[in-house]
Amino acid sequence: MSAAHIGYAAMLEQFGPIEVTEYSALAEQHGFTGTMAADHFQPWVPQQGNAPFVWNVLTAIGERTGTDLGPGVTCPSFRMHPAMVAQASATLAAMYPDRHWLGLGSGEALNEHIVGGYWPEAPTRVAMMFEAIEVINKLFTGKDVKHAGKYFTLETTRLWTVPATPPPIYIAAAGPYTSRKTGELADGIITPGAAHSKVSGVFENFAAGARKAGKDPDTMPKILQLHLSWAPTDEEALANAVTEWPNGGMKFPKQDIRSPFDFEQMAKLVRPEDFEGRMVISSDPDVHRASIQAFLDLGVDRVYLHNVGRNQAEWIEVFGREVLPKLTR
């Protein structure tokens, strides 16, 4: 038994760059052991109100903290060519050795459609992400490389600023195929909080992919991003969920919706019962502790917590005192 690795999920949809950096530093002071920063060009709903550039914010967080940090997650396929993602990540890893990890995903129209062009269906987006990883890994070598693939072209070049050790690549995955390919091609997996049976299935597919590639899945990080709502009363916790994070109660795929204002209209249909089984909403820290511990017992190595309310400082202090010290791996 050992202390659990519980990080802070810095939600750039909700807070400006200075404010979210302050919260990340405060979280470390209260026992959180890492920061996952959301990469968004737009918030989910206008009420959330922010979307600073994740790489600037991660740099500021790196200066103010001493633990791990990475984007949770960035898409290397539309807004940013994989070469640019590789350069941004390599620079951050050079600045903060052995602290930075690169979290990648296949993208959402909300953030990626802004540069125009055709928005493909999910299988194509996943294929683009895995090809992008090939480009990124080539550049992480620091050697002259090139790439001519189905989706991306890289003419002969190199990264001129590279860390002594490339950052590990963790992929956001929740489906069977993506989970297996993540095990084959990445260094670890990021998955959202879900029913325990679903999370276990994701990990099983991830392990199968890793073993296929000759890797030991037990040595590869299994990371969970967990949304929750805590406030001093149950009523406040529920109000925070409905007002600040209605997307957590939307029981449908969201990757093809382009506008925060469309999400705002959908949010009017969200009811309190829609959060059941999707997000713990409670004023009792022990209820949250039990939920987090259950995921750790499933084999999760790291959990990054997002409290959906604006009450970040209060929540950080309460969880740092009453929840984090009781969690074990």
Contact 114, 79 (CB under 8 A): yes
Q: How far apart are CA 13 and CA 130, in angstroms?
A: 26
The angle, 0 to 180 degrees and rounded to 10, between the axes of the packed helices 312-322 and 285-297 is 70
35: its two tokens: 């920061």
Distances (CA, A) of 156 to 136, 137, 139, 144, 249: 14, 14, 10, 6, 46
Ramachandran area for residue 182 (φ above 0: left; ψ -120 to 50: alpha; else beta):
alpha
Distances (CA, A) of 260 to 19, 44, 234: 22, 5, 27
227 a catalytic residue: no
Pick the catalytic residue from 5, 13, 100, 108.
108
Pick the catalytic residue from 5, 13, 28, 40.
40
Distances (CA, A) of 191 to 128, 132, 147, 163: 19, 20, 29, 27
Q: How far apart are CA 322 and CA 310, in angstroms?
A: 19
13 a catalytic residue: no
Q: Which residues are catalytic?
A: 40, 108
